[in-house]
Structure 1
Amino acid sequence: MPELIEVEDAADPRLADYVRLRDVELRKSLEAERGLFIAEGEKVIRRAVTTGYPVRSVLTTRRWLPGLADVLGGARVYLVPEDVMAGIAGFAVHRGALASMARRELPDLKTLLTEPPGTARGTAGFDAAGAGPRRVLVLEDLVDHGNVGAIFRCAAALGVEAVVLSPRCADPLYRRSVKVSMGAVFAVPYARMYDWHHGLAELRDLGFRTLALTPAPAATPIDEVALGPRVALLLGSEGDGLSSRWLREADEAVRIPMSPQAMSLGVDSLNVVAAAAIACHGLMRGAPAGR
């Protein structure tokens, strides 16, 4: 049974994990220092727990407790009045509960890309026959947490098996990313690429063909490109797109064809989330059997 603790004061130090949830810079430093992230709402909390993230504590009101009781085990649960809940969070918590979850250690890039798909960690070596993930997204400098969360949701829905983040990418476990993804950030394994300069060469050494998504007219339409057994699709930042270095070093530039009407209106590209969804669907063409 959960350990239930009644709290009446929003300034109670026991609630320190939940302070100023809208302050991005504060939350970045606080969550990194304490090794935690915040999950919001019954569905997201449930998904975090069932995928193996330990619960540090839960903050909720009495009316929302029954929906979570079966997954909380012996977790510490702070019960607060409705007005105190909103005061602590700084916004109305429409999904009824917040949970402070312990982060897990991320795999390094090689481990992520050489383990069997669907495992959190692995010891399997690279197998030319296809032991590791075969369809991967690589995000370069996407700094909007909502976009990162939405792309993880696209990846989970469309069969992408892993995500690689450049050093400056937003944190997938930041509260907004988790919320927008509806917990998909827990389902799709990911790692950070700390050596941005040589990152694409490392992907190539692991057997991946790298495709750079760009609106450039000279790029190959994504539904015509030769995919191969292992493909890493590169997506660039919301405004500037991929860096010139990655565009140069990718094996091939690919694009999502726009309709003639769109081109006449000056619309030559989609936002990064819409582009990711279409491109992820395109990656499934020619995917190896047994996915």
Structure 2
Amino acid sequence: MAEPITVDDPDDPRLHDYTGLTDVQLRRRREPAEGLFIAEGEKVIRRALETGHEARSVLMTAKWADVMRDVVEDLAAPVYVVSPELAEQVTGYHVHRGALASMRRRPLPSADRLLSDTGRSTPGADGAPAARRRVAIFEDIVDHANLGAAFRNAAALGVDAVLLTPRCADPLYRRAVKVSMGAVFHVPYARFAAWPEGAETVREHGFVLAALCLSPTSVPLDELAARRPDRLALMLGTEGEGLSPGALRAADTHVRIPMDAGVDSLNVAAASAVAFYATR
């Protein structure tokens, strides 16, 4: 059981993990290098712990120490109790959810290893876990809110795994985790070492690569779903430009979501929800 420790000095070195949380560039450098990520809010912290992530420490106000008493009692990590004012001094913003946890990152598998592992698909007739059958490839999505929402869609709609290109945002950045409501902890993911070269690794595992785009050769999403490919990789691109020319060339087929009222495309998170639902 972790005994809560009251801290009243914003410069206390024990609070180092939580300093400057609003500085995106700083946190993007620090967190992977130091092997940590930040979970914000009771539900997200609980989900991180439930999925086996290890806490380095927890920072909370006195009000939340009571709400999360059962969590605190089971932790081996230190729990620091601070005033709301001190929490804001340390983090750089008003921590209205009242609790933050510094969690240890796990090593990411390679894309090849991730696709080789069995996934969440329905077990076969012999009861053995089935191979991953449907994955998402996110290319260069740099907006953390969009990435978090897309991960939440993937978890809700049964996508077996996510593959990220090298320039994609960090799914474990605080805002991405928060928007996903902890779904980033439930969907296995890996990051390609190189892209679009990594597309060949996906193809070698028997996946059809379907690029969501507005190219003249694209077919309606319903048509792709009707083909029922045994293994499908859905490729989604950046918020502004969509998929890169290299990604489009690497794809086996181009797919579009039919639109009305003169709208040519959807936000990438919304498009992912439509694509994941249509190909369930």
Could you report, residue by residue, the CA deviation over 1:225-245 in whole angstroms, capped at 9, with x for unpaired residues? 123110000000111110111
8 Å contact from structure 2 (residues 84, 95) kept in 1: no
8 Å contact from structure 1 (residues 46, 68) kept in 2: no
TM-score, reference length from structure 1: 0.89
Could you report, residue by residue, the CA deviation over 1:48-80 in whole angstroms, capped at 9, with x for unpaired residues? 001011000000011101222323422200110
Partner of 1:227: 228
- State the 1:34 CA deviation: 1.2
8 Å contact from structure 2 (residues 136, 162) kept in 1: yes
Count of aligned pairs between the two proteins: 270
Are positions 1:107 and 2:109 aligned together? yes
- Write the mapping of 1:29-178 to structure 2, written as runs, cut at 5 A: 29-72=29-72, 73=74, 74-118=76-120, 131-178=130-177
Partner of 2:272: 276
Identity %: 56
- State the 1:188 CA deviation: 0.3
8 Å contact from structure 2 (residues 120, 130) kept in 1: no
Q: 2:89 and 2:228 mapped to 1: Cα distance? A: 51
Other structure's SS at 2:4 match:
strand
Other structure's SS at 1:223 match:
helix
Moved over 4 A (4+): none
- State the 1:9 CA deviation: 1.3
8 Å contact from structure 1 (residues 38, 175) kept in 2: yes
Q: 1:282 and 1:136 mapped to 2: Cα distance? A: 14
- State the 1:215 CA deviation: 2.5
Unaligned runs of 5+ in 1: 120-128, 285-291
Could you report, residue by residue, the CA deviation over 1:124-170 in whole angstroms, capped at 9, with x for unpaired residues? xxxxx983211100001111111110000000111111000001000
Q: 1:98 and 1:88 mapped to 2: Cα distance? A: 12
Partner of 1:179: 178
Q: Tell me which amino acid in the other structure corresponds to 2:114.
A: L
8 Å contact from structure 1 (residues 57, 76) kept in 2: yes
Q: 1:209 and 1:52 mapped to 2: Cα distance? A: 32
8 Å contact from structure 2 (residues 153, 273) kept in 1: yes
Unaligned runs of 5+ in 2: 122-127
Calculate the aligned-residue CA RMSD, in Å.
1.6
- State the 1:44 CA deviation: 0.1
8 Å contact from structure 2 (residues 120, 129) kept in 1: no
Q: Tell me which amino acid in the other structure corresponds to 1:242.
A: L
TM-score, reference length from structure 2: 0.93
8 Å contact from structure 1 (residues 149, 180) kept in 2: yes
- State the 1:202 CA deviation: 1.0
Q: 2:14 and 2:165 mapped to 1: Cα distance? A: 35
